[in-house]
Each structure stands twice: as C-alpha cells, then as structure tokens.
Structure 1
C-alpha cells in the first residue's frame, strides 16, 4: 500500500507541475528480484483509484511491466536466470555472477491530460 501511495503522490505532483489535471495511465516496471509483489501493487492501486487519490479517477489505468531477472558470469560471460541476488554460475560453478536485470522498481512513464 505504501509503495503505491508514494507512486501516486509522485506522479500526481509531477503531473500538476506539467499542467495536467488528470492522470490517465501509469506504467511501472517491477523486477523479479525487486521484492515488490505486482498483485499487491495492483490491489493497492485499485483501492486508491476508487478513492480518487491524487489526480486519479475511475478510468486511470495501471500497467505493470515485469522485468525478468538475469545474471552474467564475470568469468565465463555466461548469462543465466538467477534464483537469488547472489548466484553461482550454472556453467563454470564460480560465485562470480553479476545481476544485470530484475532489480528495477520505478515509474517508467505516465499519461495525463488537462481536461477533467
């Protein structure tokens, strides 16, 4: 709930600064390793949207873009899907993998308009 509340506050403030009176859509990227549950985020969004929080209305949409976790071994350069933030390379077995995607949690974009 608190993460979605902060997203709505940030987007609403920025939208007002740009002269928008309503937010039509919010796109959020959620990585597999970000510790954010997309379903919980969506549930919170629907709750706040129903309340008309910020400059949302009943037609405001939320798109959650899931970012897959990916790691790359710094020794043999093999790319794999890690189970955790610290991963052993499945090819060479060394604990030298660097997470290259899947940790993201951010607002990618939003759409708004100056009409109510």
Structure 2
C-alpha cells in the first residue's frame, strides 16, 4: 500500500484539529468528517482517503472503524477577465479557451478544508 507522505501529514493534521475541537465539546467519538478538496488544491483525494483508512485502523484520535470520511470535490472554475467566459481551467494559470489569453481568474477549485464533523458523547 502506497500512501503519499503529503496526504498522511494532511490527514494527521485534520484528525488532530478535529479531535482537539471535539474534546473541547466533550465528545468522546467523531462519527463523520467532511473535507472539501479542490481540483487544483494539490491534494490527492484517493491518497487522503487511504491515509484516513490507515489512521482509522490505528485507532488514532477520536476515530474508530465506524467513523466516516466524506470527501467533497470542488470543481475548478475560472472567469475570463476579457470576455467574461466561465470555464474549467487545467492549471492555476487559466488560459481562456475563447480569448487564448492567460487572464482567467480562479473562482473555485483551490479549497482544502474541513467543512464540518459530527461527534457524540458515548456516555449518554
């Protein structure tokens, strides 16, 4: 099993952040974590998921084998500053398919964040 070090590090940080917040809220278990991953965020969703499964099997933080990771993909979009066309860019430097000028401004696709999580207190 090959897991990229970058995604292992990112998932470790996600779990630490979520667990610290969950502990402050007196949760004893995290049931679901929703993460937004943009197409141009330099994060590989499959590798991030593999890192989660690995850490899940290790029983890290407040997750267990019932905890769900939901990866929400954010499509990359750009707007051309010349012709106002909205298009899907291949790269961060967005070349407009109509004008052929590199003046597209990214409006989505770079996001990488924890959108939300759900937890509960097992004592109640």
Aligned residues: 116
1:10-89 matches, within 5 Å, as 10-89=17-96
The residue aligned with 1:4 is 11
TM-score by length of 2: 0.91
Q: Secondary structure at the match of 1:44?
A: helix
Q: Could you list the per-position Cα deviations for residues 30-74 of structure 1 after superposition, in whole angstroms to 9, with x for gaps in the alignment?
A: 000001000100001011111110011110000000001101011
Structure 2 regions of 5+ residues with no counterpart? 1-7
The residue aligned with 1:92 is 99
Q: Secondary structure at the match of 1:16?
A: helix
Cα distance, 1:114 vs. partner?
A: 0.6
Q: Secondary structure at the match of 1:15?
A: helix
Q: Secondary structure at the match of 1:55?
A: coil
TM-score by length of 1: 0.97
Deviates more, 1:91-100 or 1:26-35: 91-100
The residue aligned with 2:4 is none
Structure 1 regions of 5+ residues with no counterpart? none
Whole-angstrom CA distance in 1 between matches of 2:98 and 2:19: 47
Q: Could you list the per-position Cα deviations for residues 4-32 of structure 1 after superposition, in whole angstroms to 9, with x for gaps in the alignment?
A: 00000000000111111100000000000
